[in-house]
Structure 1
């Protein structure tokens, strides 16, 4: 018997139904959690690095974690939304190769799922402001995580089940270009897991090749063949993703974050951060309203 085990779990941050206007206009938003929207009236736009996506009534949209985007409502927009964190036993996101905004036609079950989430998780809206600069703060993350800890086992399990159902709506061949890991060599899969779990350690190409028991040049070619990126670039991207998460959910200094994510010094960390995200760590940090830290 073949057993398939999902390595990812999802935990609720916020869920709500809101009516928005032209004040919903936020640029360069990067969050360490996922967003799913169901639009029931009006229109809006989401931009990511590759495309502009129109928010239309009757559709579901997902924004994977660490996806740089702009959120815009020119006039009126009403939406159900849920924000949630992803955890993975091997450190690899389910959307590792698909960090783009995706869209699918909503079903009646999707709407019922959103309504049920709201019913069993009352008071889990943002409750402060729809501005990410206000609500993306460490103190608020901790507050909502504590609410999860207080949930009954029944509610926690049902909430996770509904999140899995909503995520599954985007795992189609049309919307989810997921690499078949069955064709990826076990050695490369093991190295990907090792990278995710050891971002603060030496991850030079030489060391990774040694762990894979492969010649350095051959390892680099094989890694790029199955991930689409050279090992150095891949490591840098994973380190910066972790840095973004730490900047949003902890009080660590840039120097501490640089050390925690494997950079020799804060200057090199800042250089790579800006190269990958397009903004400096300081500019990114300003995305959070630091009042109260």
Structure 2
């Protein structure tokens, strides 16, 4: 579940710690009351280290790097255009650490602005495993977004009726399996979260309470072109799915749009 290959952010190097302490001390310089927040000036490792899950933290400072985000979207688009399957897309995102593409989904929710984390291939119970799990904090505490990736290249809608084709049907069935599993085994997740937590920290209550109102579900499949085949019906089906089942249906091209919207933002 650790996101980043090169570093364990639960441990600060001597150099990073010295820089971190220096900047922290400067936050009080010349202040009679309070502290000047210089979080964005901390070393990258320290920004991660400050958070509940250092190796799964999504760094808001990266949102200011417009060129890196544009390059990420361009490379992602090129990969999609090779007609990959879902495992190839999962591998592509993970190997390149293009996690902002997944984090862009926070745009639909009112949490993730105070803290944002991503877990990949998160185990639930038994054989159930989530492709991606976003965890975000808002004013109401922590909430969870469970994300299923399905085939990006197969047509997502039946050509004759514009109903869901196999990729979306499979993803929705998977989400419904997760729901049933979580109702019974939600507390099992705390075991995995505790493996990732910062040393000497404890999980907040939201990670133990079986509160289905804090859980949200996304299925990603197909391409924008699949919607154009029968646009009005396809978008109607997508809206109806969210209204009736609470499952949000996206296609892979959506992630490009949402990621580009993040450029220059202060939070996810």
TM-score (norm 1): 0.26
Higher strand share: 1
Structure with bigger RCO (C-alpha 8 Å, 6+ apart): 2
